[in-house]
Amino acid sequence: MMSFLQAVLLMMIDQINEQRTIASIFHLLKGKKSSQTIQDAKLYHLDKWFQTAPFLERKDFDQMIHELAAQQLIEIDEMLHAKVTASGKDILETIAADFPPLQYLHGWKLQDCANMFWKRLSLTVQVASHFIYQDSAYLPVTRDEQAQRWLKSFVAGRRLPKEQLAARLHRELFALLSEQTAEDPLILVLRLSGKKRTGKTTAQASMLLHMESTEYWYRFLHVLHAAVQHIIQHAADFPLLFAMIEDIYEPVVLTQSTKKTAEMLGRGFTIEAITANRRLKRSTVEDHIVELAFHYPNFSIRPFVSKEMEEKVLQAAAVLSNKKIKPIKDQLPDVSYFQIRLVLAKYSR
């Protein structure tokens, strides 16, 4: 029987369709923040899966890929590019009807935020529950010192009697889970701890809900991501929950180094000047610029690519019907890899 994660792998392989190696999928699921992995996520529209399987070990990944190949659902060439077979396509059609849409899942944009939100939320619920019983003798559900420091500041800043804080948090959380329709609220509630109650582990919760463990994990992430988006959109209705998110949510997620490059570009620095000033390789700065083109619809590539050159790249890409860079480069020797990547980045949006 195919696991939920194997179904995800099969869908991702189908979407990439031999244009990147199998390893690229592993790095994407693990959340490797390299320029290549970020480019893969955006170019093949797989950013929803980014960093959604941080627990995945390479040996387990390789085993799942081996099983898919053994079942003749995928074929792998000598360069470790994979494609879904006709049988695999049939399986994808079969599971499509039962596969959850996960429409609110967005690993690249929300996973770091959702992870910290969960630490803050679960810790705050635990502490609020013990407030009611005037009990301070318990082990915190997270050892994350950053989350613990945040909670102390959060409680001190509310200026509410502790019982009122607990009641208001309960009211907001109940409303949130009632309003969101992404998943069964029990998926999240089972994980919460409080006085006389220990939250379930992923394995325990999946057994109670009669779900395969990786399906439960993805549904848990889905309800978290849906919650974050709902809170952001209705911040005034959820003042306590919004306070758990407002300092960690970023509408556009960029690596710190890319942010620095963007700031220097905004001040009129050229690629050469940024390279010299920051003591970076030119290719690194170019990676940053490609990342900006992926994420900002209004980012102009014109300083780096002429209109004529842009049209040539688009024509070559259309003829070749893929997003591989080397075949386009072979057709357009006067265009750099950087310029090709920029055009593809712009139009992948």
- Alpha-carbon distance 324 to 319, whole Å? 12
Angle between helices 282-295 and 271-278 (to 10 degrees): 120
In the structure encoding, which two tokens stand for residue 89, read together?
């396509």
3-class state of residue 98 by DSSP: coil
Please indicate, yes or no, whether the overall pTM of this predicted structure exceeds 0.85: yes
Q: Which of the 8 DSSP states describes residue 134?
A: T
Would you report the helix, strand and coil content of the chain in percent, each value rounded to 5?
65, 5, 35
For 218-249, the pLDDT digits (tens) are: 999 999 999 999 999 999 999 999 999 999 99
3-class state of residue 337 by DSSP: helix
For 304-336, the pLDDT digits (tens) are: 999 999 999 999 988 887 778 889 999 999 999
Provide mean pLDDT across the span 291-312.
93
φ/ψ of residue 82, rounded to 5: -120, 150
User: Higher pLDDT residue, 60 or 252?
Assistant: 60
- Alpha-carbon distance 167 to 164, whole Å? 5
- Alpha-carbon distance 81 to 16, whole Å? 9
- Taken in order of first residue, the domains within the chain and their CATH numbers are 4-96 (1.10.10.10), 107-243 (no CATH), 256-348 (1.10.10)
- CA distances 215 to 53, 98, 183, 207, 211, Å, are 11, 12, 12, 11, 6
**H/E stretch holding 243:** helix 239-243
pLDDT band at 180 (very low <50, low <70, confident <90, very high): confident
**H/E stretch holding 165:** helix 162-179
* Cβ atoms within 10 Å of 245's Cβ, excluding its own: 20
Q: Which of the 8 DSSP states describes residue 249?
A: -
